[in-house]
Amino acid sequence: MAVYKSKGIVLRSIRYGEADRILDLYTRDAGSVSVIAKGIRRTKSRFGGRLEPLSCVDFLAYEGRTLDTITQVEVLRSFHGVREDLARLETAGGLVATMRALAGGDEADRRVFNLLYHALDTLEGRTEDHGSVASAFALKLSMLSGYALRLDACVSCERNLDGLADEGFLYYAPPLGGVLCPECRRAGYAGDAFPLPDGTLDALRTLVSRPLKEARVEDGLGESVRRVVAAHVIAHAPGNASFLDAPDRRSARPA
């Protein structure tokens, strides 16, 4: 049996049998993996509280037929402040759901690992405006996963979007993955498109271009930004993207 060492962030922890847990982690070297931690729920378990959801850990495991078995673990960052605050925890649950929707495969991408780590780090340092972090995370993860949102030109006619708001509302078209100019919308696009209030396009562009630490959305635009982001992920994610209606809080809640 091959033994390997990796770094990962615990996405989900579920009970298994009398004393074990099955853990889903996003790892730096192997993408998404599932492992079993045997005896972790026993009082004298050698793992203690070192495999809590959202924790970033170094771990040692050996490969199995269906599940790898974790044998050693060291906590690198617990993100305790995220787990202990309800608002942050709710947002972290959304991050996990977005990860499972867009990056749930077993292909390693260190950029994705780093993005999730920095999103949790940003959340832990914030007392408000957590939604901006979640929106920026989803937009950046969409880009890394090959589903970038088109924000520079109309997805139909390729006209530059700057200044077109004077001609009427811009529209976001989820199936097309981008913004429609007023003329193309009026020309009879029959898809499920919805209007973008003034300032939404600029807010989306800012979230994409700036670091997560600087993710901010002006008052009054948060709802429209979240609507675009959620519609985009649902339309293009290869995994289950039901986070819009029911965030996977279980994935981020200590159990």
CA–CA separation, 107 and 22 (whole Å): 20
- Residue 70, SS3? strand
Phi then psi for residue 87, to 5 deg, are -65, -45
CB distance 212 to 152 below 8 Å: no
Closest C-alpha among 32, 38, 12 to residue 23: 12
Is the pLDDT at 111 greater than 90? The verdict is yes
The β-bridge partners of 27 are: 8, 31
Look at 7-16, 38-47, 200-209 and tell me which has the smallest mean pLDDT: 38-47
pLDDT digits (tens, 9 = 90+) for 133-148: 999 999 999 999 999 9
pLDDT digits (tens, 9 = 90+) for 55-95: 999 999 998 888 899 999 999 999 999 999 999 999 999 99
Element (H, E) at 4: strand 3-16
Please tell me the predicted confidence (pLDDT) of residue 242.
45
Number of neighbouring beta carbons within 10 Å of residue 77: 14
CB distance 6 to 86 below 8 Å: no
Please tell me the predicted confidence (pLDDT) of residue 245.
40
Please tell me the predicted confidence (pLDDT) of residue 251.
40
Two structure tokens written together for 105: 């495969």
Q: How many CA atoms lie within 13 A of 173 on its CB side?
A: 19
Q: Give residues with Cβ within 8 angstroms of 179, minimum separation 6.
A: 150, 151, 154, 155, 161, 170, 171, 172, 173, 196, 201
Two structure tokens written together for 6: 């990796």
Look at 92-96, 182-186, 199-203 and tell me which has the smallest mean pLDDT: 182-186
Mean pLDDT, residues 208-229: 94
**What are the structural domains, with CATH classification, of the chain?**
3-78 (2.40.50.140), 81-248 (1.20.1440.120)
CA–CA separation, 140 and 127 (whole Å): 22
